[in-house]
Structures are given as structure tokens and as C-alpha cells.
């Protein structure tokens, strides 16, 4: 901002965005690139933070590749938040739990002593029939999504 006191004129403008700054956040790569440019980091530095090779960050940012489930905890840490709307349905909550923990369906199933096919059914809207599984999912939600459970 520049001020000219003798003229009662103030000129202000937004700082130009860095080259490559995404105009719309459509992919996870767009979210990563936006955050990286805001922090002034190189792809190599983001890769170190997330725990992946630099080429993986390039694939996310430049080619729209989707991260593997095991990479999500590092991505969420780097972004400072999850780039998705808060989960509302049970299916969305199960997906969010897996993403935040970086677990495959099989790994989550083992953790809560369920069948891996059950996880897939739950994520597509199927009911969680066993009480112990409902409790396990509720406990994980409470731990991983505390602000989302208050609604």
C-alpha cells in the first residue's frame, strides 16, 4: 500500500501470487501446491515432511495422482487440516478414520476385529450390525474427529 499524504490518495493492490498457484482447489495436488507455495517450500521439502519421494509430490501436484492411503496422515499434517468436508454419515466417518490413520480396509478390520469386507460395506452405506464394531468406530471417531462429533 502506498499513501500520498498531500493528495488524499491511497493505492493498494494484492501481492501477485507465485507462478503455478492454483486458482481452484480441485485435487489434493492443488491443496498441496497451494500450501507449499504459501510456505515458500520446494517439492523436495514437502516430500521430506510427508515422508514420500519428491517424485510422488510431483505426481500429486502436476498430474492429479491420488495419494495412497498410507500417505494421508503425512498430507493432513502438512496441510494442517483435512481437505474434505467434515464427515456426516457413518460411511463418511469410516472413510475419514481410515484416511486419518492411513490404514487399508484390511488393517482397520484387523484393528477392530472385523471382516475386511465389512469395512467396505460400511464405507458404501451398509449398517454396522455388531455392537462391538459400532463402539470401536465410535471410539475412533471420538479420538480422531472430536469437533465433528459435537454437532
Hey, what's the cell of 50? 510427508
CA 92 to chain CA centroid, nearest Å: 13
- CB-CB contact of 28 with 60 (8 Å): yes
d(CA 148, CA 150): 6
d(CA 44, CA 67): 16
pLDDT digits (tens, 9 = 90+) for 11-38: 666 666 666 778 889 999 999 999 999 9
Crossing angle of helices 43-50 and 28-39, rounded to 10°: 110
Residue 2: the pLDDT is 55
pTM (2 decimals)? 0.82
pLDDT above 50 (res 7): yes
pLDDT digits (tens, 9 = 90+) for 95-125: 999 999 999 999 999 999 999 999 999 999 9
Domains defined for the chain, CATH in brackets: 28-79 (1.10.260.40), 90-149 (1.10.260)
Amino acid at each position: 500500500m502506498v499513501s500520498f499524504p498531500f493528495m488524499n490518495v491511497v493505492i493498494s493492490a494484492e501481492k501477485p501470487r507465485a507462478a503455478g498457484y492454483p486458482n481452484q482447489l480441485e485435487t489434493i495436488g492443488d491443496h498441496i501446491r497451494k500450501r507449499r507455495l504459501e510456505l515458500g517450500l520446494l517439492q523436495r521439502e514437502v516430500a521430506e515432511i510427508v515422508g514420500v519421494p519428491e517424485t510422488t509430490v510431483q505426481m500429486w501436484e502436476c498430474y492429479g495422482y491420488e495419494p495412497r492411503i498410507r500417505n494421508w496422515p503425512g498430507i493432513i499434517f502438512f496441510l494442517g487440516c483435512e481437505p474434505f468436508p467434515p464427515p456426516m454419515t457413518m460411511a463418511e466417518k469410516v472413510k475419514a478414520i481410515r484416511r486419518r490413520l492411513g490404514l487399508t480396509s484390511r488393517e482397520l478390520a484387523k484393528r477392530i476385529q472385523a471382516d475386511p469386507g465389512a469395512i467396505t460395506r460400511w464405507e458404501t452405506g451398509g449398517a454396522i450390525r455388531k455392537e462391538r464394531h459400532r463402539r470401536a468406530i465410535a471410539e475412533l471417531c471420538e479420538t480422531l474427529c472430536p469437533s465433528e462429533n459435537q454437532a
